[in-house]
Structure 1
């Protein structure tokens, strides 16, 4: 696999490097481990779009120092590669903060390295339950997948869809979702009539959809990865005629990933999901974020929760640097991050000081056509006090 290494820096940082003026003293280095190539390249595209949108709005300095981002391509769920890249970033590039991490296995593999080096790890996406327990230096600005499940389980039952078939990707986050739904759906008054784990990167969902069709539940609840996987999943749902059988499709927001919506078209229409962000979120900050994201990533690339993860990772790093006065000591930065509160394009968020995990709203969304594109339109908000 070819590894891509890219550096993003403000013009001021380039001048500083060009004149040889105190790079180590005046620059904070952030190492991003992301999926920049292969079937999950959209993840890295989202991280970069969000990161650049934040810097476009807020500049490239924090705590009196220029923030330089060094990007390394992990390609996909590759824990061994993630470990090697993190070690390179810490030992050779001498980064002050690690970030990125689209997949839980990658983040978990790097956690011991961050702990040993005392380098903060700000998670942009990896969403397994309790992930931040893997290192005292890990802080998460994405979400925990199991938290998304109860609101949707309850909504399905309230709508009269009391028999559900469960489909999840076969890795730790999928197992977390499976466990949460097997608990939450019966507790809400529903019955799980079948469930299956699918290979992480499969794009052949026809056999699974045929099994669902034969079972005839009221609804499917699904978690599969975004990108090409999600697009193939929804196409198989339509091609097998499950919508014609009035089998409702619902799940976590991964199955209606905004950047993949053009490839899916109206196959996503009407699907209901629970998630922590939609590009349709109604706030002035989100409108500005979407505008800057499109400038950074391209007008045809829409932001998703991963794009917001890129934005909020930088927001947290900047705020911590301001709080420490530019001190890049890892322990000091993590302490500064604990309890931090700010306004995100997704709404108000904060970092729990005990778990170092994010506290945020959950939104129920329905895919509708808005203008010339399909998007996730929020119709209900579940605040942290209701979760």
Structure 2
């Protein structure tokens, strides 16, 4: 072999070897969730379980994409914004992850958004809900697979079938989730003729609802028409149970709230017939992905999948679809791939809206059914509320 051709052959061999080595480099993904320090820990655990199941489903059990193994790096935010920011920076910097997924609390997650922009790396928001996470203070590196407050409240308003005969008092926690939710609910009622008579906000972790319930009773009791207290509380404290024990029906007042995780649904047995909207209940969606999730989760954990398990799986399947579709893993290429991307989830098809990267998705109108043979109250499906039925405001425009 002549020296020139020998050198060329050596170079090709070196490139082939380096290419093979690159092909085996893991795809690093960080899961940034609060795993200690809050009642929301259950949400985080469900989300992470769902994410791992979603990758398993999307890769046919190989946990590889394009010949590269997936490495999941888990970090605990402790539900503290400063800890979350540091954890995300460490994941992007020291751990060199391709992208991150998180977090659980809307307030904590909001503090993470600038870190994604600083490092110019993707942050998939799941399961935090607040509209503001794709709002003016967000950025182009943020995509959101979780539903938002507007979806919760648009669906809740549709379930209440509002008209000029409806009077509503709202109760929410005083932080991003609650404030954004009630703002979205008010927007959903616009033009319906319904009247919002009062808004009440309580600190997170509130346990005594006596005074706030009395204020809502007084605001509603003399109204002529249908009177409803709409509760939008994600944390503990059982506001629905405590308010219902104060007998609002003596004033003709109903209670309405969205669906919740399975451990909370036994408390809904106190309100048979109540109607509302839910993000996910394992019996509601009818599709192959959900069938697999329900069957697999039941086999492995002896229980059906819950609210945020489905969300975690949706996030994983979005990541897998993007990584399988993108020609390379440069951040700009991934952004271009994901804007407008549709993919399948346990809830059916989701689509990232190009303008603000919010995943548009279905919600479910339910009516509470009590069956003594079932441990929890059943949010029996009334109908699927499709994305096109909900007027979800744009958050941030690119």
Q: TM-score range by the shorter chain?
A: 0.7 to 0.9
- The answer to whether residue 245 in structure 2 is matched with residue 239 in structure 1 is yes
Based on CA coordinates, which of the two structures has the bigger radius of gyration?
A: 2
Instruction: Tell me the equivalent position of 1:109.
Output: 111
**What whole-Å deviation, never above 9, does each CA across 1:209-234 have from its counterpart, x for those lacking one?**
233334445101121114x34xx112
Instruction: Tell me the equivalent position of 1:90.
Output: 92
Instruction: Tell me the equivalent position of 2:29.
Output: 30
Write the mapping of 1:131-142 to structure 2, written as runs, cut at 5 A. 131-133=133-135, 134-142=138-146
Instruction: Tell me the equivalent position of 2:273.
Output: 270
Q: Output the CA distance in 1 between the equivalents of 2:271 and 2:336.
A: 42
Q: Is the 8 A contact 1:33 1:82 kept in 2?
A: yes
**Cα shift at 1:385:** 2.4
Q: Is the 8 A contact 2:197 2:220 kept in 1?
A: no
**RMSD across aligned C-alpha pairs, in angstroms?**
2.5
TM-score of the pair, normalised by structure 2: 0.82
- The answer to whether residue 387 in structure 2 is matched with residue 381 in structure 1 is no
CA spacing shift, 1:353–1:366, aligned 2, 3 Å: same
Instruction: Tell me the equivalent position of 1:323.
Output: 325
1:174 to 166, 175, 178: 178
**Cα shift at 1:159:** 8.0
Q: Output the CA distance in 2 between the equivalents of 1:25 and 1:207.
A: 61
Q: Gaps spanning 5+ residues in structure 1: where?
A: 1-20
CA spacing shift, 1:357–1:154, aligned 2, 3 Å: closer
Please, which moves more after superposition, 286-295 or 58-67?
Answer: 286-295
**What whole-Å deviation, never above 9, does each CA across 1:337-365 have from its counterpart, x for those lacking one?**
12211221112211112221111123212
Secondary structure class of the residue paired with 1:187: coil
**What whole-Å deviation, never above 9, does each CA across 1:56-79 have from its counterpart, x for those lacking one?**
433211232111111111233x21
Please, which moves more after superposition, 189-198 or 53-62?
Answer: 53-62
CA spacing shift, 1:369–1:378, aligned 2, 3 Å: same
**Cα shift at 1:145:** 0.7
What count of residue pairs does the alignment treat as equivalent?
357
Instruction: Tell me the equivalent position of 1:225.
Output: 234
- The answer to whether residue 347 in structure 2 is matched with residue 346 in structure 1 is yes
CA spacing shift, 1:259–1:335, aligned 2, 3 Å: farther
Instruction: Tell me the equivalent position of 2:54.
Output: 54
Q: Output the CA distance in 2 between the equivalents of 1:265 and 1:129.
A: 27
Q: Output the CA distance in 1 between the equivalents of 2:193 and 2:159.
A: 11
CA spacing shift, 1:173–1:265, aligned 2, 3 Å: closer
Q: Is the 8 A contact 1:168 1:197 kept in 2?
A: yes
**Cα shift at 1:130:** 4.6
CA spacing shift, 1:155–1:43, aligned 2, 3 Å: closer
Instruction: Tell me the equivalent position of 2:255.
Output: 249
**Cα shift at 1:197:** 0.8
1:207 to 194, 206, 211: 211
Q: Output the CA distance in 1 between the equivalents of 2:305 and 2:218.
A: 36
Q: Output the CA distance in 2 between the equivalents of 1:294 and 1:180.
A: 35
Q: Is the 8 A contact 1:220 1:250 kept in 2?
A: yes
TM-score of the pair, normalised by structure 1: 0.84
- The answer to whether residue 368 in structure 2 is matched with residue 367 in structure 1 is yes
2:151 to 147, 170, 182: 147
**Cα shift at 1:55:** 3.3
Instruction: Tell me the equivalent position of 2:43.
Output: 43
**What whole-Å deviation, never above 9, does each CA across 1:91-136 have from its counterpart, x for those lacking one?**
2221111102112222221111111212111111222225224121
Instruction: Tell me the equivalent position of 1:100.
Output: 102
Secondary structure class of the residue paired with 2:40: helix
Secondary structure class of the residue paired with 2:154: helix
Q: Output the CA distance in 1 between the equivalents of 2:249 and 2:297.
A: 34
Q: Gaps spanning 5+ residues in structure 2: where?
A: 1-19, 222-226, 391-398
4+ aligned runs moved over 6 Å, structure 1: none
CA spacing shift, 1:198–1:330, aligned 2, 3 Å: same
**Cα shift at 1:292:** 2.3
Q: Output the CA distance in 1 between the equivalents of 2:116 and 2:98.
A: 10
**Cα shift at 1:141:** 0.6
